[in-house]
Structure 1
Amino acid sequence: MEPTNLEEAFGAFEETWSPRVVAELNGQEVKVARLEGEFVWHSHAEADELFYVLDGDLTIEFRDEADAHLSAGDLLVVPAGVEHKPVAEEEVKAMLFEPAETLNTGDADDADLTVEEPERLD
């Protein structure tokens, strides 16, 4: 059992919208990701998704309700089945919690952004 240093984890990659796994627990993965620009509209039919902003400002847009604005220290759970689109005007460092088999693009068909098997940072 070794602690994970998040600063070192973020130092291991520069790509945006390409989450990296830093821990696993109870069938869930804890991922870190750099976010910048607009992602795709998507939902996760069977999985809630937790966004925790470590640095920067993130907007989660929703089709049927008001957008959520998150700053460093804020977290938001997007319930299963809710269509959403993350948007970051400038780079955001975020942690994500979701079931291990959850694709980052959910039900969206976007081969350029889909990460089938996220890299594990040890």
Structure 2
Amino acid sequence: MSDEPIALGKALASFDALWSPRIVTRVNDYDVRVAKVDGEHIWHAHDDTDEFFLVIDGELHISLREPTGRRTVVLSQGSVFTVPRGVEHKPSAPSGAAILMFEPTGTATVGDRHEEVPSHVDATTGHALHS
């Protein structure tokens, strides 16, 4: 990881792939990932970790299947939200967005339980940023 400051705008400009997070740095045992998103991801859950989202640009919708029912949270630019471990969720960005996430290193982008993964969703644990 870099020992220099990282400009998130420059990091985001260095790739075009949607739903394919790039690891910009690490904090202890966590990856700090940025991603460009547009359209829908898939329903999935992370059994052993929460998932933190920060919207850098645009608007992100996160649908949740909670014990009390289904709801959708809408995150505008600058908003943060944490999906609790074990909660099924489906991010989407009807008009596109740029997001930052904190996840334990090695966490798959589609979680531990998920729907069939379509070709537009990267199911890996993230890619190192090549700026």
Q: Secondary structure at the match of 2:71?
A: coil
> Would you identify which runs of 4 or more consecutive aligned residues in structure 1 move more than 4 Å?
none
Q: What is the percentage of aligned positions where both structures have the same residue?
A: 38
Q: Secondary structure at the match of 1:14?
A: coil
- Structure with greater proportional strand content: 2
So what's the TM-score if we normalise by structure 2?
0.87
Instruction: Name the CA distance, whole Å, in 2 between partners of 1:115 and 1:12.
Output: 20
Which residue in 1 is equivalent to 2:4? 2
Cα RMSD of the aligned pairs, angstroms, is 1.4
Which residue in 1 is equivalent to 2:129? 121
Instruction: Name the CA distance, whole Å, in 2 between partners of 1:95 and 1:7.
Output: 11
Instruction: Name the CA distance, whole Å, in 2 between partners of 1:16 and 1:114.
Output: 8
Deviation at residue 118 of structure 1 after TM alignment? 2.0
Which residue in 2 is equivalent to 1:71? 76
Instruction: Name stretches of at least 5 consecutive residues in structure 2 with no aligned partner.
Output: none
Instruction: Name stretches of at least 5 consecutive residues in structure 1 with no aligned partner.
Output: none
Instruction: Name the CA distance, whole Å, in 2 between partners of 1:118 and 1:60.
Output: 20
Instruction: Give matches, 1:1-122, under 5 Å.
Output: 1-63=3-65, 64-106=69-111, 107-108=113-114, 109-110=116-117, 112=119, 113-122=121-130
Deviation at residue 54 of structure 1 after TM alignment? 0.6
Kept after mapping to 2: 8 A contact 1:42/1:85: yes
Q: Which amino acid aligns with 2:36?
A: R
So what's the TM-score if we normalise by structure 1?
0.93
